[in-house]
Amino acid sequence: MASLQTSDVVRWGWFLPRDAALHGPALDAHLMLNLWIVLGLAVLAHGLLLVGVMVRRRRAKLPVVMLEYLPLLALTALFAWLATKSEQLWASQRYVGADPAAMQVEVTGEQFAWYFRYPGVDAAFGRTKLPLVSAAEGNSLGIDPTDPKGKDDIVTSQLVLPAGREVDLTLRSLDVIHGFSAPEMRLKQNAVPGQTAHIHFTPTVPGEYAILCTQVCGLGHYRMQSVLRVLPAKEFDAWLTQRELAKARFESEVSR
């Protein structure tokens, strides 16, 4: 299982890692807007508190002001707007479906590894059955060998994607809850046993990025890492063709 070094994972320091996805700038801008608003409100609140303390020391009696509801209404409206904007950004990757032409990849988590399945030349995933899961027999995902759609499915330990093309990820788990996270892609989504979750995005910057598990999934949680490789379109096509040819040779040998 390929993994990044600890120094690679923590190199981001106090700031976000670089943005490498199409939706990243909108998320980053909204996050910074939230931070600046909270900072401004904190400075304002402490400033008013300081002024109030200083004025009270100088004046024994203060007039009664019954306008507490005005700042309350203003803050309620502000936070309602921020919550609505946040929900729109969050839902755009999950509840709004991906483009029909988006590339399909299945992401499966198990203690303590990630598996990535591509549908092959038929553009369809084969059936999976939990009783068929057997790493010893080379079937870590439980792909049904009687389903012809699964004959050309490609399973890898790294997520390899083309730059500039939308990708629709289907997440599932074989055992416990895992948290799929690719920080540079601004992605984070839990994989829950017995359920499937979808999240779509468009990688834009070629390179290698960390894939982490953000849920404590057992004693080996610390090593549940993988690598996301974003390649230029032509390089990705060549990589996928090699994988498809290798899978075809394997199936041919098995059927003899």
pLDDT value at residue 105: 96
Pair (223, 125) in one structural domain: yes
Strand order in the sheet with 225-231: 159-162, 225-231, 207-213, 178-182, 187-191
Instruction: Output the CA torsion sign for 135, 138, 143, 145.
Output: negative
Pair (65, 144) in one structural domain: no
Pair (154, 170) in one structural domain: yes
Boundary residue ending a domain (75, 95, 115): 95
Pair (54, 71) in one structural domain: yes
Residue 244 domain-assigned (yes or no): yes
Boundary residue ending a domain (74, 95, 116): 95
pLDDT value at residue 70: 77
Segment 124-149, tens digit of pLDDT: 898 988 888 888 788 889 888 888 88
Pair (109, 226) in one structural domain: yes
pLDDT value at residue 244: 82
pLDDT value at residue 179: 95
200 backbone dihedrals φ, ψ, rounded to 5°: -125, 150
Average pLDDT of span 161-189: 94
Which helix (H) or strand (E) element contains residue 44?
Answer: helix 24-58
Supply the DSSP symbol for 236: H
Query: Percent of the chain having pLDDT more than 70?
Result: 87
Pair (87, 108) in one structural domain: no
Residue 155: give the domain boundaries.
103-255
Q: Is the pLDDT of residue 6 over 50?
A: no
Residue 75 domain-assigned (yes or no): yes
Q: Is 194 exposed, middle or buried (0-12, 13-18, 19+ CB in 10 A)?
A: exposed
Residue 16 domain-assigned (yes or no): no
Cβ–Cβ under 8 Å, residues 225 and 212 = yes
What CATH number is attached to the domain comprising 182? 2.60.40.420
Q: Which residue has the higher pLDDT, 5 or 253?
A: 253
Segment 13-28, tens digit of pLDDT: 457 788 899 988 888 8
Residue 71 domain-assigned (yes or no): yes
Boundary residue ending a domain (64, 95, 126): 95
Residue 14 domain-assigned (yes or no): no
Pair (69, 112) in one structural domain: no
Pair (179, 127) in one structural domain: yes
Pair (108, 195) in one structural domain: yes
Q: Is the pLDDT of residue 173 over 50?
A: yes
Residue 17 domain-assigned (yes or no): no
Residue 192 domain-assigned (yes or no): yes
Q: What is the mean pLDDT of the chain?
A: 84
Question: CA 8 to CA 111: how far, in whole Å?
Answer: 22
Question: CA 200 to CA 222: how far, in whole Å?
Answer: 26
Contacts for 53 with CB less than 8 Å, ≥ 6 apart: none
Pair (194, 240) in one structural domain: yes
Contacts for 172 with CB less than 8 Å, ≥ 6 apart: 106, 107, 108, 109, 191, 192, 193, 195, 196, 197
Pair (120, 173) in one structural domain: yes
Q: Is the pLDDT of residue 5 over 50?
A: no
pTM: predicted TM-score of the whole model, two decimal places? 0.77
Residue 6 domain-assigned (yes or no): no
Pair (232, 128) in one structural domain: yes
Q: What is the count of structural domains for the chain? A: 2
